Amino acid sequence: MTKYKFVGALILIFLLGCTERKNRDIHIYDINSELSDSTIVYPQLYEIEELFAPAQFSLQSNNKGLVVTPRTISSGYSLFYYAHPDTNTHFPKMNVLMKSGRGPGESGIMLAGTRTAESGSLVYYSMGTSRFYHYDQNLDLIKEPLVNAMDILVTDNFTYANGRYYSEATFSEEEKILKIYDTTNNITKTIIDKRIPHGYQPAARNNIASIISTPEHILLALIGEKEIMIIDEEDRISGKIVLGENDPLPEPYIPKSSEDMKSSSKHIFKMEYHDGMIFVLMKSGLTVLNNDYEFVSRIVFKDFSKEKLEISDFTINSEMLYLRKGLLNIYRIDYSKIVAKLTQS
């Protein structure tokens, strides 16, 4: 009996050691900031042609222009853009980036878009054609690989880095959240355990709120959480950026009816990497971190009547910062003015 106890103790020590090493590997970046640290910015209302359903579009951009991704086909186009204007230009011209259809140079509905940190290129996904569409800094289409839905299927948020696509593990039988498809070896893997088991509620706690690539990492935030997971090149969680306290994770349950379904809050609306900084959109404003995941500033946007603008989407580049208020209005401000504000912080 003593022999078995000794072996059991060794196993327990080994397991505790593994857990300890695992915890040591996770670096916590605790962002301590107060609302008093905020910087006020007054953007300008940007009036563009309303050729898309107001509640169903997203914004991306690079040095060439602002790209609008309509969630429904609009006027026969699945993707279009506006070149960066000077601040005195109103009603800029819309430029077609992709027509809707299944022929050459056409696509189905673009479900999602992302910007890569490594080259500033923009990538879009269409389930209708099962393709990713890669555009360079000049918004020229450089590749459009066909992917098998079994390898990866994008339904909302995704990102791309070093030949890998990262998206939700949609319809996967594994109890994992993130699916990674590596195009260099045609291998798919899933990581990060689900918060809520399959078939239980609130299943939204397994959903990705935002995901981006930086030159070194993938940053991932989930619904209901104010933490950002840092995923390294070996697809391991190497750190967490703590921007506040996560919502309590409820005990999983099976709803008896639709009225029994509980909602989950989205705290991190969107992230983008630009100019060596991470921009994180939250209800409190646009939090800016440096490359070392240290707090730089929080930007709060107000209109010229000094009312706070509730921003639901944004995109930033070397020319402009674009913002979407609610479901319709788009605002803009020169990036140079943002840099000046950050320098003052």
Q: Is the pLDDT reported for residue 22 higher than 50?
A: no
How far is it, in rounded angstroms, from Cα 186 to Cα 204? 29
Residue with tokens 């209109």: 303
pTM above 0.85, yes or no: yes
**Which positions ≥6 away from 89 have C-beta within 8 Å?**
none
* C-beta atoms surrounding 172 within 10 Å: 16
Q: How confident is the model at residue 109 (pLDDT cuts 50, 70, 90)?
A: confident
Q: Which of 49, 82, 42 is nearest to 333 (CA)?
A: 42
The reported pLDDT for the residue numbered 87 is 58
- Mode of pairing for the β-strands spanning 295-301 and 38-41: parallel
Asked whether the bond before 215 is cis by omega within 30 degrees of 0, the reply is: no
- The three-class DSSP label of residue 291 is coil
The reported pLDDT for the residue numbered 72 is 63
Q: Which of 172, 103, 185 is nearest to 144 (CA)?
A: 103
Give the residue, 46 or 298, on which the prediction is more confident: 298
Q: Are 110 and 78 in contact (CB under 8 A)?
A: yes
* Cα end-to-end span (Å), the chain: 66
Please work out, in degrees rounded to the nearest 5, the angle formed at the alpha carbon of residue 325 by the alpha carbons of 323 and 329: 90
Residue 167: CA count within 13 A, CB half-sphere? 26
List the domains of the chain with CATH numbers: 29-344 (2.120.10.30)
The reported pLDDT for the residue numbered 5 is 42
Q: pLDDT tens for residues 181-220?
A: 999 999 999 999 999 999 899 999 999 999 999 999 999 9
Q: How confident is the model at residue 24 (pLDDT cuts 50, 70, 90)?
A: very low
How far is it, in rounded angstroms, from Cα 79 to Cα 59? 11
Q: pLDDT tens for residues 84-96?
A: 876 566 667 888 8
Q: Are 92 and 48 in contact (CB under 8 A)?
A: yes
176-182 β-sheet, strand order: 158-161, 164-168, 176-182, 187-193
